[in-house]
Structure 1
């Protein structure tokens, strides 16, 4: 039991620290959808075939066409005291990772504001604002305004920059207007007739998993599309996970081998000490299989009790870690943590080790002759 406790408690604490730190870092990566985004840095010529092919890719969770970067900026206006200049326009649709948990704009006159944009305008969900855009047409400045309703306001942690999330058709109309076309509903009667759009300059792309960001970025690079992503932060977490995994693996194997040697020594000493009693059991009629089961069951029971004691020591140690080291972290974060499945695997491993060691000792028990018990009579 002492051997099991001496191995189980430190290993659980060590693995708890590894799992707690790495899983928290992974949670932070996954909680911010921008870590899954692959941003295009330059304009390209993307047709519908390209978008359909990307949507069929297993690595892509969300993709939506975008206009040229110069046409994704506009001014927002409420009244003479509440306005915001040069706010980012971002197209959105169902499944947008950034808008998870809020209403998705479906109509042309519906938008979602980021928290910073809503703060600058001093408005809340349900109110109306105006999107103002301008262009130079035939050497004169023309300004158009589109009245939209704010469906929701994103929390700051979801998107920090001042931005308006709007439907793709409205963003396309804004680009067409700036390109010199006449757009119904903009209040401007000048401009040419709208041409059918067959290509887009950029796209919003999000990977389905953190592990697929690199593959997706490399795929776009191979197609000649320059991209930007948070791959450095992702690789940092993956490197920490790998290093801690190696450290834990080395320590765990050394501890397991040491525990096995200790168990073998303790079991053999116990068998030698109880040799006369075991011989007496043989004399009473217990066969070799029964003697082996006796040794295995005894070892498994002691291992289970020792494992439970080790778990109690882990709980005490983890609470101490979380209280002492948690002072340097936010209140909703943890330092040392294990899931129930980890305890199940650890118990199964400890019992397997004990059964193997006891099985080896059981071989020596079967070699004890019943006549040895008669020598002391």
Structure 2
């Protein structure tokens, strides 16, 4: 017999035969397979539920923080002399989302008037521009006479977008009471949750005109022909300052404090959410590591016992011509199949558990809120972690398998 024929006679069967034998072996020893999968399910399902609760609660609290732009605001407590260069520097700082000059507090109040029955006194005047977080998704006033009303101001006036109202400002000039009246157009109305107080969002030039009028200057278009000549504006008293995200609120407030500007913010609420996130993260991490180590130990024990029980069968596969690398692949394949199956069952149990949590605990929360939630990326990461653990365990078992000699299958013959 030629050498080529001998090589063909003693070559190992195809790998697909080995894979088929591995799957058949799992089905034949279904009791052992179920026990191994149960150990995986016992770790995967509780960890997914625990992380789902952590992610659901924290992400909901973060969403509530982000949905309220006041949480991004750093309010100045006192007036200062802020030059235009200061505002330009602030806009270029990392972590700053929006900066807008403000006039003195006394000059940010005006009356709104439609007729004798529809009016609002002492309404707050707030300058706005593009990227204003309060007006997110709302048309931004561009023209001098365009304004956006808060919901409470609009309800007092009973007006709708597109209607025109009168903005009235009063001053005492040379012992005479003078009243400026400017007609403005309601561009849009804010939803109630965006801003609760009666307010008018207007362009900065219009707010400056209000302050100039109150300071006794002549303002064209105000309807009042008296007043001294306007002086070039060199500074502003205050500023509207917003961070670009809640993580930067503290750093921005500390920077302003270093400049001698006292501020207030909702840093306490932000730190509360961050603390909850940190605590839950530590709790989840400790439980996860303990569960993973326990699962790894259980799987290693189960695989070792299974390998020891099937030494003769594995030795027979070696005798059939399968090398060490093929036998390692055999163990890895079985481990991967058991892991994916157990992970799938664990995901199904998580879905049932999360629905139960959301229904039972959701009764104590507002509508459309959730307490247990995971994103698709979380399942992908969890599966990747489970497979990595399975590969490590299979690697330990594979080392044992490679030490089985083919002759072991002949000892009992």
Unpaired runs of at least 5, structure 2: 1-36
**Given the alignment of the two structures, is residue 331 of structure 1 paired with residue 375 of structure 2, yes or no?**
no
**Rg: which structure is higher?**
2
Aligned runs of 1:66-77 on 2, under 5 Å?
66-77=102-113
Q: Secondary structure at the match of 1:200?
A: coil
**2:154 alignment partner in structure 1:** 118
What is the TM-score normalised by the length of structure 2?
A: 0.90
Aligned-residue CA RMSD (Å):
0.8
1:139, distance to aligned residue in structure 2 (A): 1.6
Aligned runs of 1:1-377 on 2, under 5 Å?
1-377=37-413
CA distance in 1 between counterparts of 2:130 and 2:320 reads 77
CA distance in 2 between counterparts of 1:199 and 1:14 reads 54
Q: How many positions carry a matched residue from both structures? A: 377
Which is further off, 131-140 or 111-120? 131-140
CA distance in 2 between counterparts of 1:287 and 1:95 reads 66
* 1:10-41 Cα shifts (integer Å, max 9, x gaps): 00000000000000111111111111111111
CA distance in 2 between counterparts of 1:319 and 1:272 reads 42
CA distance in 2 between counterparts of 1:19 and 1:101 reads 27
CA distance in 1 between counterparts of 2:321 and 2:211 reads 94
* 1:125-165 Cα shifts (integer Å, max 9, x gaps): 11111111111111221111111110111000110100000
Q: Secondary structure at the match of 2:147?
A: strand
CA distance in 1 between counterparts of 2:320 and 2:133 reads 72
What is the TM-score normalised by the length of structure 1?
A: 0.99
1:376, distance to aligned residue in structure 2 (A): 2.1
* 1:156-179 Cα shifts (integer Å, max 9, x gaps): 011010000011001000001101
Deviant stretches of 4+, over 2 Å: none
1:362, distance to aligned residue in structure 2 (A): 0.9
1:312, distance to aligned residue in structure 2 (A): 0.5
CA distance in 1 between counterparts of 2:284 and 2:404 reads 41
CA distance in 2 between counterparts of 1:284 and 1:163 reads 85
Unpaired runs of at least 5, structure 1: none
